[in-house]
Amino acid sequence: MRSQRTLLRQALVAIPLALGSALVSAVELDVPAQSLDAALTDFAEQANVRLLYDAALTRNSAAVPALKGDYSVAEGLQRLLRGSGLTYRMGADGTVTLEPVGALQGAVELDTTTVSSQADGRRDLPLEYAGGQVARGARMGMLGNQDMQDVPFSAASYTSELIAERQAQTLGEVLLSDPAVRQSYGFGNFSQVFVIRGFSLASDDIAFNGLYGVLPRQIIGTESVERVEVFKGASAFLTGVSPTGTGVGGAINVVSKKAEDTPTRSLTLDYGSDERVGGSFDIGQRFGEDNRFGVRVNLAKRDGETAIDDEDSEYSLVALGLDYRGERLRLSTDFGYQKQRIDGGRPVIYIPGLAGVPKAPSSTKNYAQSWTWSQLEDTYGMFNAEYDLSENWTAFLAAGGKYSRENGVYSSLYVSNFNGAATVGRLYTPRDEESRSATAGVRGTLSTGPVSHQLNLALSGNWREFRSANEFTGPAGRPGNNLYDPFPINEPNPTSISGDMHDPRKTGSTQARSIAVSDTLGFFDDRVLLTLGLRRQNIVTDSWPAATGLRAPGYAESITTPVYGLVIKPTEYLSLYANRMEGLQPGQVSTASGNRGEIFPPYRSKQIEAGIKLDWGTVGGSLGVYRIEQPQLVTQNNIASVDGEQRNRGVELNLFGEPVDGLRLLAGATLMDTELRGTAGGTNDGNSATGVSEFQYNLGADWEVPGLRGLSLNALMLRTGGQFVDVANRQETPAWTRFDIGTRYTMDLDDKRVVLRAALENLTDKDYWASAATSNGGYLTQGAPRTLKVSATVDF
């Protein structure tokens, strides 16, 4: 056996390196995105390293992203080997030897990529794709981390590199890069609401390291975010029902930063027009035997006037991530505190009764009143544990929670004619929320003859309790104003008050518990993968209206949601996929006089989807078609029933990667057709749904300028079709196009890496309505004006 092993190829690809400073001296590298084997050959030649390894170790490795810039040998190897399951050892003569992680005493342990979900939320993340803007895979709910080519679903995972390049300060700014996602404001305040495949996803329903009910609500900062993962399609099986029941068209998961093997020390200072300045620290370190312990700290502060006239925004973040990675046990915790305040925030617009949509005001115009403000304060934390029961089986546990305090005086304009005449509403609504979530289960692999199995069993639950009160100024008490020529007015008096404004009482609670099981069967050496699964879910809601304090009729229902998925991989670069999945929302309680108090079962939305995925190593893409049918509550003859339906049919195209060395692309398109059926009296049958565009195009590029080392140029084009504001389809916003441009310059200053960034968003300063809400009466959100962003990041 030993003599046979000696026949394994040893790759000798460079001359010996001088001793002593081999691992720490910086060398200039320009390794293109390619196979790991080819990348190691180029690396060794450029770094002047003698590299030895068994060729079988890299034979089936995924392509690695480009490596360009000044790196030490250690840094370069860590980046190339991340996710490969390999580590290295430096010999006394300068020779570098590669072997599997754990095979060497004292080896430098590197990240590995597996199909299981890891406890620390950072280690074992899917490898970055060529170009570094997206990852090869993402967390697929209870299935854990998966490669995109191996799952019968559509998803995207955006990296911290993309977040930094775009100077993205919120989740919404990150997801501008996704052609299937658009954004609007929430009802009354400034919460970010995402529309995926034509259905809204509230910020309350965004997961954190796979767990619902932990992240801050309304607006989520990015300084502590490693990845933003977007699952497209109905996800009730994979993730369970979301806390507020939104997300029929997709789900979002945020992955937190964790300490890496290379220490992190960076300071970023930033400025945004008109006078918004801020800064952030990112500090990470691993220590102990084999770097088993890790600490990552993120601090951020930002304050000042935005590009919208007289709108001021203040933001603070403290985030701490701790983790331990042993041979069989992995632990991690995340703690955070986030506070946001907006004074004079530009509100949404209502246009009841108008026969069309008024022209958008100047992009910088602010029709808010000086007495309006919004403050969001969140404290959150979670714990993860994972233990390898054997080589093939792993048990996992996660639990977390948050406390949110929301307060503010909000104002919206109700526009009555095309000259901009309007009235000013007012809403004051203090709100506190406590949320707790937990999940536990086992996952593993086994074989039955020629068939492989990836088995998963999971339990999960989310418990929420909220307290609120409100003061509201109705139509009779709203003073006049104008959309195009706003003027200051006194704060109007409330026309209705519900609850104690100084000490809000409990107004609602929800519980969602589930058990899920799945099996992914592999045939023909896993070239055919069949995923089957079931999730049994129980939903309980209770409410105590603030006006009375008396308990309203409760809700408790259970339902089972299945999943069927198929992947066929005829070649190494091509995957064909199809799925049949379901979304889930809590059923409503009828308020119609004929059957008031009747509780309807959970709404089961149904999705079918099919498509292809391509992976050429440096360029990847997907093309999919889908149909989603969502039940709708309809009231006719004073009787409420679930007889209506919204049907969304669409085509999605995505392209990403680095087709040419130094040119990175991220582009795509979505075409969608929506139809309402079974509306009251058939009045709106055949009409399009509100807040959904027929087309959405994205084209993003980042180009490293040849001959000018360290300089990059980037641009993003967003093209979005019109949206109907009302179900009668008499009010439609115009289509709009937005251009963003930017530049980045990387240099070394006194052995410190410095990155300077500048960007202009909405380059042409276009005045446009960015979105119409998909619910809550069809309001309009105006697009942001031309905004300058500059920042400087120093690694120290």
pLDDT tens for 123-132 read 468 989 999 9
What pLDDT, on a 0 to 100 scale, did the predictor assign at position 305?
Answer: 97
Question: What CATH code would you report for 137-255?
Answer: 2.170.130.10
In contact, 215 and 228? CB cutoff 8 Å = no
For 342-356, write each residue's pLDDT tens digit. 999 999 999 998 999
Q: Distance between CA 615 and CA 637 in Å, rounded?
A: 55
What pLDDT, on a 0 to 100 scale, did the predictor assign at position 490?
Answer: 96
**CA distances (Å), 689 to each of 511, 634, 661, 682, in order?**
30, 15, 43, 14
Q: Distance between CA 588 and CA 38 in Å, rounded?
A: 58
| Residues 6+ away with beta carbon under 8 Å from 449 | none
In contact, 300 and 223? CB cutoff 8 Å = yes
Q: How many residues does the chain have?
A: 796
In contact, 583 and 604? CB cutoff 8 Å = yes
Q: Distance between CA 48 and CA 235 in Å, rounded?
A: 49
In contact, 284 and 319? CB cutoff 8 Å = no
**CA distances (Å), 169 to each of 196, 586, 650, 782, in order?**
20, 32, 30, 19
Taking residue 267's Cβ as centre, other Cβ atoms within 10 Å add up to 15
What pLDDT, on a 0 to 100 scale, did the predictor assign at position 68?
Answer: 78
Burial annotation 743-771 (CB, 10 A radius, 16+ → b, else e): bbbbeeeeeebbbbbbbbbbbeeebbbbb
Helix (H) or strand (E) holding 314: strand 312-325
Q: Name the nearest CA neighbour of 565 among 126, 233, 191, 197.
A: 233
What pLDDT, on a 0 to 100 scale, did the predictor assign at position 776?
Answer: 53
Conformation bin of residue 102: beta by default, left when phi > 0, alpha when psi is -120 to 50? left
Question: What CATH code would you report for 256-381+393-446+453-795?
Answer: 2.40.170.20
Q: What is the pTM of this model?
A: 0.86
Best CATH choice for the domain 2-100 from the list 3.55.50.30, 3.40.50.300, 3.30.720.210, 3.30.160.60: 3.55.50.30
In contact, 76 and 64? CB cutoff 8 Å = no
Q: Name the nearest CA neighbour of 170 among 222, 132, 96.
A: 222
What pLDDT, on a 0 to 100 scale, did the predictor assign at position 25?
Answer: 56
Q: Name the nearest CA neighbour of 88 among 107, 62, 69, 61.
A: 107
Q: Distance between CA 460 and CA 440 in Å, rounded?
A: 7
Q: What is the DSSP string of 224-258?
A: TEEEEEEEES--HHHH-S-SSS--TTEEEEEEE--
What pLDDT, on a 0 to 100 scale, did the predictor assign at position 272?
Answer: 97
Q: Distance between CA 134 and CA 613 in Å, rounded?
A: 15
Q: Distance between CA 262 and CA 252 in Å, rounded?
A: 28
In contact, 115 and 146? CB cutoff 8 Å = yes
What pLDDT, on a 0 to 100 scale, did the predictor assign at position 777?
Answer: 63
What pLDDT, on a 0 to 100 scale, did the predictor assign at position 572?
Answer: 87
In contact, 788 and 765? CB cutoff 8 Å = no
* CA angle 183–413–488, rounded 5-degree value: 120
Q: Where are the domains of the chain?
A: 2-100, 137-255, 256-381+393-446+453-795
Q: Distance between CA 102 and CA 290 in Å, rounded?
A: 10
Residues in the chain where the model's pLDDT stays below 70:
1-26, 55-56, 59-63, 83, 91-94, 101-124, 187-189, 775-777
In contact, 233 and 607? CB cutoff 8 Å = yes
What pLDDT, on a 0 to 100 scale, did the predictor assign at position 775?
Answer: 66
